Structure 1
Amino acid sequence: MTNDYLIQALRHGLIVSCQAPVESPLHEPMVIAAMAQAAVNNGAVGVRIDTPAHISAVQERVQVPIIGLWKQVISGYDVYITPQFHHAAAVAQAGADIIAIDATSRNRPGGETIADIIAKIHQELGKLVMADVDTIEAAKAAVAAGADIVGTTLFGYTAQTKHLSPPGWELLTQMVQMLDVPAICEGGISSPQMARRAIDLGAYAVVVGTAITGIDYLVRGYVKEL
């Protein structure tokens, strides 16, 4: 798939994030792959997958674009979505078409800048980059650094935005108005109607995870209420 095709394939569609907590029995490559295939069978235009093992399993079963990432907790740093280039390289090797990285202004391990990582992903891996951001300032900086797609993924999850709750409608609106790359709405979308609102606000595509694939989280919520 060419890069132009990859981006066009996502236009105005649903991207399903198929992930599970490490301690969950669902955190198995074949289970994640089955989730992804079920999502695609029912109309998802792309999937968002964490860890090389899961990406490798998923790419054997779907033919839609895979947005890959690798969550890594590194002591002393808050950045955890594909924090370093070698994580991005492993994600690419596993079969991801687009690599998602934390593109907030927070300090990164290893001394790499966002621009460094994006340039290396483009030049050495030949992959597109989705920049996960929390603010419009971070979004603008990510585009200046070469990001191909920007998502509202980290809105509400950083020190700068922790007092805010996703979805980031205002951030999405700003991104649509101010950026020259596709803006993807991710985070806090919990109904088809909210996904529709994101598209109406100008989102290029919508990522939904927990509301579709978050069995552990959803069951706990019901049990707590009961």
Structure 2
Amino acid sequence: MNTDNNVLNKIKGKLVVSCQALPEEPLHSPFIMGRMAYAAYLGGASGIRANSVEDIKEIKTTVDLPIIGIIKSVYDGSDVFITPTMKEVDELYREGVDIIAMDATDRVRPDGTTISELFPRLREAYPDQIFMADCSTYEEALKAVELGFDCIGTTLSGYTEATRGKILPDFEMVEKLVNTISKPIIAEGGVSTPEELKKMFDLGVYSSVVGSAITRPMEITQRFMKAIQ
């Protein structure tokens, strides 16, 4: 696995494009996500964020870029679904994903643990793996740093009960993190325009992930339709 900062250095100051499509979406297919990743690469992306081992395997055949891997799994009784348990982490590790991202909110996970209980076990099991903490609040980011995550994402701001209604992208959270945390801060969530992306880098983020605005044509179409309705 990646034991140094080479992988993180490859995305420093660069754009990561999220290539994901859930089962209910029109573009759901490892082949299509592979082509989407290739298009992002040709456009200048320096990294890819992808969901599921199947998609990641396909993307690896089309681009040689660092991959932030997740597995979205919905479990009854828990709101945590981004790489929620050890099972998903094990699968991503076996696939050799460069960076494993996971929900690092303070919510109870499907196995009844919190991130404070689960992550020390993961760090012990996979000491050389790079882990990204998908957080929703500044306090969760501080806890993730304390636990030993390698980089911090703002991924879940606005998507949890505690942060519902937050205006995205969350520039306020990003600025606070950049000014107080030495770990790489990766802006993610609601970055919809080139201008917003530039503002993120002006604030000092290490890297930024853009997804829906680039790789979800159905949502992009809906945005345009809303403007004329």
Do Structure 1 and Structure 2 share a fold, with TM-score over 0.5? yes
Pairwise CA distance, 1:198: 0.1
- Distance in 2 between residues matched to 1:178 and 1:105, nearest whole Å: 20
Distance 1:173 1:46 in 2: 23
> 1:78 and 2:79 equivalent?
yes
Q: What's the CA shift for 1:120?
A: 4.1
- Preserved CA contact (<8 Å) 2:19 2:215: yes
Give 1:35's aligned residue. 36
Q: Distance in 2 between matches of 1:114 and 1:131?
A: 10
What residue in structure 1 maps to residue 183 of structure 2? 181
Give the 4+ runs in structure 1 shifted more than 6 A. Answer: none
- Deviation, structure 1 residue 203: 0.5
Output the amino acid matched with 2:68: I
Q: TM-score, normalised by structure 2?
A: 0.93
Alignment of 1:10-159 (within 5 A): 10-125=11-126, 126-159=128-161
Distance 2:96 2:213 in 1: 25
1:198 aligned to which of 186, 200, 203: 200
Q: In the aligned structure 1, how far is the partner of 2:70 from the partner of 2:123?
A: 15
Residue correspondences, number? 226
Shift of 1:2: 4.7
Q: Tell me if structure 1 keeps the 8 A contact 2:68–2:98.
A: yes
Question: Identical aligned pairs, as a percentage?
Answer: 38
- The CA deviation at 1:163 is 2.1
Q: Secondary structure at the match of 1:176?
A: helix
CA positional deviation for 1:119: 3.7
For 1:132, give the aligned amino acid.
D
Q: Aligned equivalents of 2:215 and 2:196: distance in 1?
A: 17
Contact preservation (8 Å) 1:48, 1:66? yes
**Conserved? CA contact 2:3–2:129, under 8 Å:** no
In 2, Cα distance between the equivalents of 1:120 and 1:67?
Answer: 20
Unaligned residue ranges in structure 1 (runs of 5+): none
Secondary structure of 2:5's partner?
Answer: helix
The separation in 1 between residues aligned to 2:34 and 2:121, in whole angstroms, is: 28
The residue identity in structure 2 corresponding to 1:11 is: K
* CA shift for structure 1 position 27: 0.7
Moved more, 127-136 or 109-118: 109-118
Query: Does residue 213 in structure 1 map to residue 219 in structure 2?
Result: no
- TM-score after normalising by structure 1: 0.94
Q: Return 114-123 or 47-56, whichever deviates more.
A: 114-123
Label 1:41 to 1:121 Cα distance change in 2 as closer, same or farther (>3 A). Answer: farther
Moved more, 117-126 or 21-30: 117-126
SS at 2:62's partner residue? coil
